[in-house]
Amino acid sequence: MPVTSICSVKRGTVPPATERRRHVSDRTPGTVAPMAIRHDSGIVLRSYAFGEADRIVVLLSPHNGKLRTVAKGVRKTKSRFGGRLEPFTEVGLVLYEGRNLDIVTQVEVRSAFPGLRRSLDGLHAASTMAEVVDGVAQEEESSVALFDLFRSGLASLDAGRPPIEVLTAFLLQALGVQGLAPSLRMCASCGTSDHLDRFSVASGGIVCGDCRPEGSVRLRQGLVPLLAGLADADLATIDPVDSDLIRDAMWLTRRFVEFHLDRRLLSLVVGES
């Protein structure tokens, strides 16, 4: 996003949440408002340079959705927030409410998920999760289910669970949070639970041999139960599965996400071979 457009994403255009603006209503008419301070928390999705010395840090907050904040002076004095605002870090924040963007004044790390940073596949999986979260989260909108899923995914990668399996399950479950879950236990076209051996992205999931919509692909033995299992799996206990099966599951899930969220997953390189 071009820097010039950042300030146009102004919270004032959206009815503010009571929690966010409670200080404003305390103001005595005719006096200069003190700078309001508020507490929030979130997981860092990404950050980028802003002006000469600042960074915009984008986070997902469980109760306030996508937050765009400014970390001032971080590019001049690198040690001010250290690595506390790196992507995939869960933080508690103290913020000044600025005119356009809230300003970060204090950061407390709740979890840095260091284990996921030890492998390239872990980092790529986390990047794809963050990209999807960034794409679907809205500003000033409670995102508890999405936040919990994102945190579970990062914790699972941090604990050394297999990145492709974790990411595939995360993507299927993120679709569910968005109300876009693929049909994985019955034909998406006719509803039968027999002869489910094909997948159609456009039809919305698994389809039967009788329906076979145009563009559907035949599935390898074992793929249907794998997809259904991953969509319901506890991310904390995901184990590795057959490499051909998980590669197919990732491939189908990726196409489904890209089709139904209408976006390319630019960070997704794990399992692509």
Query: What tokens does 184 get?
Result: 């994985």
Tokens describing residue 128: 């794809």
* Residue 187 interacting with Zn ion (CB under 5 A): yes
Q: Which is nearer to Zn ion, 176 or 209 (CB)?
A: 209
Minimal distance, residue 221 CB to Zn ion, in Å = 19
The stretch near Zn ion (CB under 5 A) out of 40-48, 65-73, 143-151, 179-187 is 179-187
Contact call for residue 211 and Zn ion (CB under 5 A): yes
Instruction: Tell me which residues in 12-71 interact with Zn ion (CB under 5 A).
Output: none
240 burial (CB, 10 Å; 0-12 / 13-18 / 19+) is exposed
DSSP string for 204-233: TEEEETTT--TT-EEPPTTHHHHHHHHHH-
177 scored as a contact of Zn ion (CB under 5 A): no
What b/e sequence results for 196-234 when a residue is b if at least 16 CB atoms lie within 10 Å of its CB, and e otherwise?
Answer: bbbbbbebbbbbbeebeeeebeebeeebbebbbebbebe
Select from 1-9, 55-63, 92-100, 208-216 the region that touches Zn ion (CB under 5 A): 208-216
Phi-psi map region of 41: left, alpha, beta (phi>0 left; psi -120 to 50 alpha): beta
Contact status: 208 vs Zn ion (CB under 5 A): yes
**Of the listed pieces 15-23, 38-46, 145-153, 181-189, which binds Zn ion according to CB under 5 A?**
181-189
Contact stretch for Zn ion (CB under 5 A) within 27-35, 63-71, 200-208, 216-224: 200-208
Residue number with CB closer to Zn ion (64 or 189): 189
User: For binding to Zn ion (CB under 5 A), which residues are involved?
Assistant: 187, 189-190, 208, 211
